[in-house]
Amino acid sequence: MIVKNESRCLARCLQSAKGIADEIVIADTGSTDDTTKIAREFGAKISNFHWVDDFAAARNFAINRTTGDWILVLDADEWVGENLAKEIPVFRRGNPAVGWVQQVSDFRRNGRTFRAHCMTPRLFPRGAHYEGRIHEQLISPLPRVNLRGELWHDGYLDIHKKGDRNMKLLLVELERDPDNVYFLFQLASEYNAIGQPEKAFGCLQKAFARVKPGDPSAPNIAVDLLYTIIELKKFEAGIQVVARAEKYLGDFPDFFLVRGLFFMNLIRSNPARYVSELPGIEQSFQRCLALGEDERRRSVHGSGTFLANYNLGVFYQAFGNIAAARRCFESAAAQGYEPAAGLLEKLPAG
């Protein structure tokens, strides 16, 4: 681990890994709170690392101080779920490979908390290393194996804590490589997190214009751009984004969810002009449900299930199809989506 001032969550992280790790190796980059005290209580080996604005350098410094044959990399705002804790010992007994774990992150959008998941490489035999000043990448020739268990993460709920640092490093990288779509996408995420959608829009628009359809970040660039367009009401730009993205995102429920929301807001902005787009709302949410949840890419939990049903129910309710709205809200509520349960209670009887 690399840490700095993580007293809020470090104990939770270390407790979750206590039964897995033979040693805990921590590179501290200048904590002034109880971080090192907490780490010592768990028997951690702590080394001080002079921060040089380079995450890969810090990761590699910590890795070089480990003695085990296998390495598990964690951040302090994460914790190992029970299923993942059971998988890790089994994985280590298999052939050498890089274990990609399912990171599950809570985040806020428009005052609501959502949950997203993505696969990230965290478990690997000695010999791998990191490259990259920020959003560092693991370098290893070994094959990839996906684990099913969860690595829980709540750091996006406290984004202001590290946003300035991340933004500074991303801007440095973009000075060196101004057309790098991945760094543009990450910088946009930082801007959106601190409530600066106009700046995020500029980054995402530039990234979307340059990204190739097969790029791993292409789906999320398109989706985040459309959410930012909805927030800023730049609907003319959104029409062009939808037209281009739907050519290569036909299997991504997150895209169809935001597509349906975009058409909802587009028509609301000028009903007379855009009424012809009305069928696109129902089609989009139904496509989400047909696709189901996406486990291959970074995806918002519910895009292929309860979020699609909820928004489809809102659509049906607006047009007086109460029976269809009820079915959608019941389905979403059965999966624990409370806003759907609230609207279900308000529907007229019958």
pLDDT in tens, 96-137: 999 999 999 998 887 788 999 999 999 999 999 999 999 999
Q: What average pLDDT does the segment 263-286 reach? A: 97
User: Tell me, what's the pLDDT at 108?
Assistant: 86
User: Tell me, what's the pLDDT at 139?
Assistant: 98
Does the structure show a pLDDT above 60 at 282?
yes
- When pLDDT is cut at 50, 70 and 90, the band that residue 350 belongs to is low
- When pLDDT is cut at 50, 70 and 90, the band that residue 346 belongs to is very high
Nearest to 222 by CA among 247, 199, 197: 247
User: Tell me, what's the pLDDT at 161?
Assistant: 59
Q: What average pLDDT does the segment 326-342 reach? A: 97
Total count of residues recorded for the chain: 350
Q: Delimit the domains of the chain by residue range.
A: 2-158, 160-304
- Residues with Cβ < 8 Å from 320, sequence gap 6 or more? none
Q: What is the CATH number of domain 160-304?
A: 1.25.40.10
Tell me how far apart the alpha carbons of residues 350 and 195 are, in angstroms, rounded to a whole number: 43
**253-269 and 306-318 are packed helices; what angle lies between their axes, rounded to 10 degrees?**
20
User: Tell me, what's the pLDDT at 134?
Assistant: 94
Does the structure show a pLDDT above 70 at 163?
no
User: Tell me, what's the pLDDT at 241?
Assistant: 98
Q: What average pLDDT does the segment 146-163 reach? A: 84
Q: DSSP string of 69-82?
A: SEEE---TTEEE-H
Q: What is the mean pLDDT of the chain?
A: 95
- The answer to whether 265 and 318 are in contact (CB under 8 A) is no
Does the structure show a pLDDT above 60 at 160?
no
- When pLDDT is cut at 50, 70 and 90, the band that residue 164 belongs to is confident
User: Tell me, what's the pLDDT at 162?
Assistant: 66
Q: What average pLDDT does the segment 270-289 reach? A: 97
- When pLDDT is cut at 50, 70 and 90, the band that residue 159 belongs to is low
Tell me how far apart the alpha carbons of residues 338 and 344 are, in angstroms, rounded to a whole number: 10
CATH topology of domain 2-158: Spore Coat Polysaccharide Biosynthesis Protein SpsA; Chain A (3.90.550)
Share of the chain above pLDDT 70, in %: 98
User: Tell me, what's the pLDDT at 109?
Assistant: 83
CA distances from 144 to 123, 138, 214, 261, 344 (A): 10, 11, 19, 35, 44
Greatest CA span in the chain, whole angstroms? 68
Q: Do the strands 45-48 and 25-28 form a parallel or antiparallel pair, or are they unpaired?
A: parallel
pLDDT 10s digits, 65-93: 999 999 999 999 999 999 999 999 999 99
Q: Which helix (H) or strand (E) holds 3?
A: strand 2-3
Tell me how far apart the alpha carbons of residues 322 and 22 are, in angstroms, rounded to a whole number: 58
Q: Do the strands 98-109 and 144-153 form a parallel or antiparallel pair, or are they unpaired?
A: parallel
Tell me how far apart the alpha carbons of residues 84 and 58 are, in angstroms, rounded to a whole number: 25
